[in-house]
Amino acid sequence: MAALPRRDILARRDFLALGTAAAAAALLPGRAFAAIPTGVKLHGLSAFGDLKYSQGFTHFDYVNPDAPKGGQMNFAPPNSTFNQSFLTFNTLNSLVLRGESPPRTELCFDSLMASALDEPDALYGRLAATVTLSPDRNGFRFELRPQARFHDGTPLTAEDVAFALKLYKDKGHPNLSQALRHMTEAVAVDPVTVDLTFNGKQSAQNILAIVAMPIVSKAFYTVNEFDASTMTPPLGSGPYKIGRVAAGQTVEYERVADYWGRDLAVNRGLYNFDRIRIDFYINRQAAFEALKKGDTHFREEFTSRVWATGYDFPALRDGRVVKREFPGEKTPSMQAVALNQRRPQFRDVRVRRAIASCFDFEWTKRVLFYGSYERSQSNFEQSDYKAEGLPSPEELALLEPFRAELPPETFGEAVMQPVSDGSGHDRKLLRAASRLLAEAGWKRAGNFVVNEKGERLRVEMLAEDDGIVRLFSPWAENMKTIGIDASIRQVDSTQYEQRQSNFDFDFNLLAWSIGATPTADGLEILYDSRMAKTPGMRNYPGTESKAVDALIEAAGKAQSRVELVTALKALDRVLRARLDWIPTYHLANHRVAYWDMFGFPEQKPDFGFPVEALWWFDKDKAAKIGKG
């Protein structure tokens, strides 16, 4: 049985470190963003708390600064961002909504700052040597490193930074333009100085998303159309550039030997492979066979059946392939189903609860998951932002103004999904689901329930993967038992992305990770009322709620981590009571298999797992297994 690879919501985590989004930190007292000094050149920024690394640090603690360069990793990416696809690609431009691009194009670009994967929300200068806040905190001056260069040898200047950010605001992928909507000016003061100005409506953490955005070449996009779906490699300045490409099949990223930033503290010990290759397969079984044959060197396993029974092949038995688990990130993550409330049959929460009751997780865990996975309850699972028990007085203070709008369950114990008897067909739960449908006005007529117009309650479950079809099938059968006309529609990757982006579905599954210190911009992508009408955003259920919008605003205005946790716990209560998303399941660890030809730091950082950046090729190990 399968889980979904993750979509990373670019809330603030460094664009080059999207091996995972950042994760939820333990409660830190820390100082507020508002306490960060103005008028002083800073080498780093943090939302809450002091920076771990002081001015002049030489490398992050979680890297091997002496890691050798060389070798190749054939890599199956476990996550993606923006318009990237795991199954195919028809463009090399990841920065717009149009088309499907390959994962890891971000390796070709630099950003103003880079995040530390052992801190929840700290970033340090990459393109920018320093940043200075204006007295009103609505302005940021970045001094760029004069040695920054694009791959064609031309300087990367303040003009490029200003151009790129204005371009994203106007034409970029919605995840980019959303974060930039409060930016009023981006001005190149001189070749190495750029000023960003905001209107005062931005959240304090908004700048953390912007400094992680890739910087593109003004000269390149003056002669090339930015929002085109194109196989022309963009001009970048990062540690890699696009090499060999076979559209829809293979992409290779080649390390830039004379990369201008190779000796920066934020880069030392990273980006070690001479070549990173990604091959695309039509289904998970074909991708697994590629690992067994040695065509793929690293794979994270999302199919429980395969993890439990499939890893018994010659290369694993003789030790050439290693199967192990690595700790997961301390991540507020979620995998959940959206029922599209733009369609009238799903607007009644009782209908959504009835459909949720048809998912027998206990049976699924035993039969399809081979005992792995735990039931998810929260939109911020595995984090301090998960609501538990009764609301605190501070949470109630945020919720009370919206009592008339909110389901009464919001103000009681945090809503939990029903527990079945594990039979796969829990009669008690299905009877309760039938009562909910009847209360919502759906009456039985033969094999189906119908509304007052005689229309059936239809649910089409959208899938692009055989493993997800296997997950959906027993869920659909239980829906049919209570009279719902349920069906599964499996489509190819291109259709799937188009239907998701345009909200053309009834029932859709999403896995996401949103960041250790979620910004208002990142939360809005998933939950804000305005995003319900914006194609390409992740508000798949079509949530439109004044209470939700207000709680996102409260999170954005938080001046301490305690205030942020309070706001997000209140938001979690609302989302769970409304059942905008039906939580499914989660796994605590990364399940991976790799050919034993790599070196890596044994202590994994808490807030990321970008193996393609952290690991290195070990010549001696490779020679021993015939991969030298």
236-290 per-position pLDDT tens digit: 999 999 999 999 999 999 999 999 999 999 999 999 999 999 999 988 899 999 9
CA atoms within 13 A on the CB side of 499: 20
What ranges make up the beta strands (E) of 419-536? Answer: 443-445, 448-450, 458-463, 485-490, 507-513
In this predicted structure, the answer to whether residue 12 has a pLDDT above a threshold of 50 is: no
- Residue 22 binned pLDDT confidence (cut-offs 50, 70, 90): very low
Return the CA Rg of the chain.
24
Estimate the crossing angle of helix 520-527 against helix 561-578, to 10 degrees. 0
In this predicted structure, the answer to whether residue 17 has a pLDDT above a threshold of 60 is: no
In this predicted structure, the answer to whether residue 10 has a pLDDT above a threshold of 60 is: no
Q: How many CB atoms lie within 10 A of CB 159?
A: 17
Tens digits of residue pLDDT in 296-308? 999 999 989 999 9
In this predicted structure, the answer to whether residue 218 has a pLDDT above a threshold of 70 is: yes
Rounded CA separation 558/147 (Å): 37
Q: CA-CA distances (angstroms) from residue 578 to 381, 441, 442?
A: 17, 18, 19
Task: Lowest mean pLDDT of 42-51, 467-476, 547-556, 596-605, name the range.
Answer: 42-51
Q: Where are the alpha helices (DSSP H) in 180-275?
A: 206-210, 218-223
Q: Which homologous superfamily is 14-278 in?
A: Periplasmic binding protein-like II (3.40.190.10)
The amino acid that residue 327 corresponds to is P
Quote the pLDDT of residue 11.
33
Tell how strand 240-246 and strand 507-513 pair up: unpaired
Rounded CA separation 291/595 (Å): 8
- Residue 48 binned pLDDT confidence (cut-offs 50, 70, 90): confident
Please state the rounded mean pLDDT for residues 501-521. Answer: 90
Give the domain ranges of the chain. 14-278, 333-586
Angle, vertex CA 586, rays to CA 582 and CA 588, nearest 5: 160
User: Is the pLDDT higher at 522 or at 314?
Assistant: 314
Q: pLDDT averaged over the chain?
A: 92
User: Is the pLDDT higher at 121 or at 398?
Assistant: 398
Quote the pLDDT of residue 382.
87
Q: Which homologous superfamily is 333-586 in?
A: Dipeptide-binding Protein; Domain 3 (3.10.105.10)
Quote the pLDDT of residue 331.
76
Exposed (0-12), middle (13-18) or buried (19+): which is 369, by Cβ within 10 Å?
buried
492-494-495-497 Cα dihedral, nearest 10 degrees: 120
Angle, vertex CA 309, rays to CA 303 and CA 315, nearest 5: 100
Cβ–Cβ < 8 Å for 156, 215: yes
Quote the pLDDT of residue 512.
85
Cβ–Cβ < 8 Å for 122, 44: yes
- Residue 184 binned pLDDT confidence (cut-offs 50, 70, 90): very high
User: Is the pLDDT higher at 517 or at 83?
Assistant: 83
Task: Lowest mean pLDDT of 9-18, 215-224, 284-293, 407-416, name the range.
Answer: 9-18
SS3 326: strand
Rounded CA separation 380/513 (Å): 9
The amino acid that residue 464 corresponds to is E
Q: How many CB atoms lie within 10 A of CB 263?
A: 11
Cβ–Cβ < 8 Å for 134, 38: yes
Rounded CA separation 437/450 (Å): 10
Rounded CA separation 184/162 (Å): 11
Tens digits of residue pLDDT in 571-592? 999 999 999 999 999 998 999 9
Rounded CA separation 510/490 (Å): 15
- Residue 49 binned pLDDT confidence (cut-offs 50, 70, 90): low
The amino acid that residue 159 corresponds to is E
Q: How many helices (H) and strands (E) does the chain have?
A: 18, 27
Rounded CA separation 304/485 (Å): 29
Quote the pLDDT of residue 3.
59
Please state the rounded mean pLDDT for residues 362-379. Answer: 95
In this predicted structure, the answer to whether residue 228 has a pLDDT above a threshold of 60 is: yes
Listing from the earlier edge strand, what are the strands of the sheet with 44-46? 44-46, 122-125, 113-115
Q: CA-CA distances (angstroms) from residue 378 to 97, 385, 430, 500?
A: 29, 9, 23, 22
Which phi and psi (to 5°) does residue 19 adopt?
-55, -25
In this predicted structure, the answer to whether residue 23 has a pLDDT above a threshold of 90 is: no
Percent of the chain at pLDDT > 90 equals: 84
Rounded CA separation 36/551 (Å): 24
Rounded CA separation 576/544 (Å): 14
Quote the pLDDT of residue 187.
98
